[in-house]
Structure 1
């Protein structure tokens, strides 16, 4: 069946809401990397490894989102900030004395990362609270001098990573420092009452500490800067030059600001729906918080972690997943169990992950996603059809063979092509409980019709990301469920009675299809659906401020 055009004419009243726009968040994170920064001499593990461990660990881990008997809900590493507990500087610095991560075991954490199939680790050397998780030479507010731990865990982690053969890198908050005079968000005067500027902070603390972490811990994979905000470009430039001088093989993250990074970083907890060009990463959490929070047991399952990892790689990116150690320095057991789940999977299907390129479709497919390695396409089937047929849109030419991959090797599958669809005969039961993989071997570079395909056997989601709009506006929206727990969507607003969304889609066979709409609004909503053959569906429903699904 050829292309069908679906037009949705919806008369929706716009709803005012207190949301942080995607544009505002991009300004805060400023995560875009430079266009000419990709170097084959740097960041090989980032480019090919595709999967990494992020660790947020500090005094906030000990406090675990409680202060003076009260629990605060949000991301744990921001507990000190006025947006959460608003802890005075002196009180927060005094809390370092209670930090006793006596069960910290660098080798165990590195082994967990390796067991999970991760190729490098990035850990917070200093977060926005200004506490250095290494033995700083210029700042006594550090884990060796301000706590009874008296060890530099970064030395131990760097050594363990080297012994295990995985990469190591540092997070460093270069702009925000809530405890050092002159830092963004910090005191404006020092202990003697003298005024302090950002320039003072930068040259007294930031620059020498970045110099230390890039010279005292051996080769590192990258330095992950964060929230540059309004920091002047000259400071960002100095940091980039310093890292590249001290560590020629290391990348600088896009959040150094001003487009000076070696790659781009998306918004926190964001996995895009469409392929993203260039070199980039998605950063995500195993639960809802980066730093440990005592109440946060909303752990992602092994299957969810794997699907979000694969979805990121399929969009062309690298996935870095965070764990927040407990006050004693150990990784929470639910996180460890979930992380180890995908390991056996990546060992069985390494070509689908390591060194893999983005999906040639440019978007997810009704049953899953895809990555490419040379002439081979890995079809990643999250939702296994039970009718014995896998329908693949837009791929019909240049196929050499199709194989089902499993622990025992490969099994050749029969297939047919019809119009713009590939139909693969598959077993009725999924061969892998997490994500099954079908390998399509091509004669050359895959040529794909990228139009959205409506699967005849399962639900197909048509996000507004892929629609053409008329008489309305398509925008990205970001908001927080709890403080720091970000959600990201693309939505269409400012509707009138003449507004339209148009999707170019392809279907396998004609028939009756149920369409469900997801929307918010006020009053009553009238909508009309029309396809290119002239068939019309029309109705009216009450709207609400919460999302509504109406068939």
Structure 2
């Protein structure tokens, strides 16, 4: 994932600014490197989605579609620099990813310094229970955490690499919380929050991927340094290493609801397979129903689609999740700015009305704390959801989905109409036209249970909204329609 280059459009005033970025963004046959523009991934076409046949996986997909809201977290030694995670290591991506870095022509000195960041990564203010408390207060239902990004640094005590948080050359390895994934996952589970393990299929640190002695020399890109079809033994080393790490996470770190795989180019651009399907099938023998998000790959192991930094224009008709930054970056950025609770709730509402989930991303600080601005936004979001969450969690799509500033969700015989106000200064009308064409028996306000008068006409109903005595427009008013 990418850092500052999406700042211009993720710092939005309205959800539609994100939606606009989605135009033409779905993957087309024959595309390779175009699927990733400056670190931002495209997403698979909904009409090519393959529904699972495993009953337990289908049941888990229903669970997934009930959750609606995830906390995504990109965290690793790179947070010390406040730059894009991993991407600056790729010489082929240097032009956009090394902005603000004083790097020489070859980039070799910078890459050496980057890979040495583990020697200074010491997040002694990390308290997993506090993170879990904040997430619970924010209304988060599942966590998507970077166990390993493309740079290869492992945030768990892996047997298969020394480049890890518990490595002897990392000063944090003696801390009581050194096995970060283990402690973080357990703290979140205790709050009833689901666990998704993000794992990059690329590893730019392991010598069986970016191997020395090949014609590419020191000039590296997203893929391996060699042609896998011509060097089968090298590639098989990498495949075994990757499979071992994936199975290790699933075997030693408790129940995983989802495994979330990034770096689809590992297979797409090389034409080779890491046999992920075999790995997932094996894991499901002891973790039945676990979801697999093999993003951008399609097929039976991309159990849900993952738009990045964008929202589809219309409902997709299949399970999906937009991963979008709360600030301007996926990883920690110094003096970052964060979306307001109003912006995040409007974003969430737009996504849920179209049948998706929101994975809102926060990059923790290098010392182990969450940025104050991010915490304030999360808590404000949670305060709204505590009152109005009934209209979000566990709902499904309801036509007409969204018209102007009114979005719709449904749960059984109840339809929720969410009237959103883009700004505090927005006018709050006393009469509201709700373009729901079905039969309506009663209308109440979700927050107060107050019944409101309404009249039916062609194409919808007009409700007499209760007086609004607030000095600022609410984030949203929610009408509960008994149908």
The two structures, once aligned, show a CA RMSD in angstroms of 2.6
Note the residue ranges of structure 1 that are not aligned, 5 or more in a row.
1-18, 66-74, 443-551
For residues 164 and 230 of structure 1, do their structure 2 counterparts lie closer, same or farther at Cα, with a shift above 3 Å needed? closer
Task: Indicate if the aligned counterparts of 1:286 and 1:323 stay in contact, CA closer than 8 A.
Answer: yes
Alignment-derived partner of residue 420 in structure 2: 382
Q: Is the 8 A contact 1:31 1:259 kept in 2?
A: no
> How far apart are the structure 2 equivalents of 1:198 and 1:322?
33
Q: Secondary structure at the match of 1:172?
A: strand
Counterpart of 1:500?
Answer: none
Say yes or no: does 1:213 pair with 2:249. Answer: yes
- SS for the counterpart of 2:197 is strand
Question: Are the structure 2 counterparts of residues 37 and 341 from structure 1 closer, same or farther at C-alpha, using a change threshold of 3 Å?
Answer: farther
Q: How far does residue 94 in structure 1 lie from its aligned partner after superposition?
A: 1.8
Which residue, out of 141, 166, 179, partners 2:205?
179
CA distance, structure 2, for counterparts of residue 107 and residue 413 of structure 1:
43
* In 1, Cα distance between equivalents of 2:143 and 2:460: 41
* Whole-angstrom CA distance in 2 between matches of 1:44 and 1:418: 35
What is the deviation of 1:157? 0.8
Q: What are the Cα deviations for residues 318-358 of structure 1, in whole angstroms up to 9, with x where unaligned? A: 11111100110111110010011121222222321111111
Distance in 2, matches of 1:40 and 1:21, equals 27
Q: Is the 8 A contact 1:222 1:252 kept in 2?
A: yes
1:47 correspondence with 2:65: yes
- State the partner residue of 1:78: 87
The normalised TM-score by structure 1 is 0.68
Contact 1:31 1:254 in 2 (8 A): no
Equivalent of 1:147, from 152, 157, 170?
Answer: 170
Does residue 274 in structure 1 map to residue 314 in structure 2?
Answer: yes
In structure 2, the CA distance between the partners of 1:258 and 1:181, relative to structure 1 (3 Å rule), is farther
CA distance in 2, matches of 1:275, 1:256: 18
Residue of structure 2 in register with 1:311 after alignment: 350
1:357 — aligned with what? 396
When residues 430 and 141 of structure 1 are mapped into structure 2, their CA distance, relative to the original with a 3 A threshold, is farther
Query: Aligned partners of 1:147 and 1:187: how far apart in 2?
Result: 26
Aligned with 2:445 (options 386, 400, 404): 404
- Structure holding more strand per residue: 1
**Match of 1:260, SS?**
coil
Q: What are the within-5 Å matches in structure 2 for residues 234-253 of structure 1?
A: 235-253=275-293
Pair 21,78 (structure 1): closer, same or farther in 2 beyond 3 Å: same
Once residues 478 and 161 of structure 2 are traced to their aligned partners in structure 1, the CA distance between those partners, rounded to angstroms, is 51
Question: Counterparts in 2 of 1:468-479, with a 5 A limit?
Answer: none
Query: Does 27-36 or 240-249 show the bigger shift?
Result: 27-36
Secondary structure of residue in 1 paired with 2:442: strand
Aligned partner of 2:360 in structure 1 is: 321
Compute the displacement of 1:401 (Å). 0.4
Higher helix share goes to which structure?
2
Structure 1 position 36 matched with structure 2 position 52 = yes
* Equivalent residues of 1:122, 1:170 under 8 A apart: yes
User: What TM-score, normalized to structure 2?
Assistant: 0.77
Instruction: Please state whether the residue corresponding to 1:359 is helix, strand or coil.
Output: strand
CA contact (8 A) 1:54 1:121 kept: yes
User: Residues 147-194 of structure 1: CA distance to partner in whole angstroms, max 9, x if unpaired?
Assistant: 1101111111122122222112210001x22121233737748xxxx9
Once the two structures are superposed, the pairs formed by residues 219-298 of structure 1 within 5 Å of their partners are 219-229=255-265, 231=267, 232-233=272-273, 235-255=275-295, 257-295=297-335, 297-298=336-337
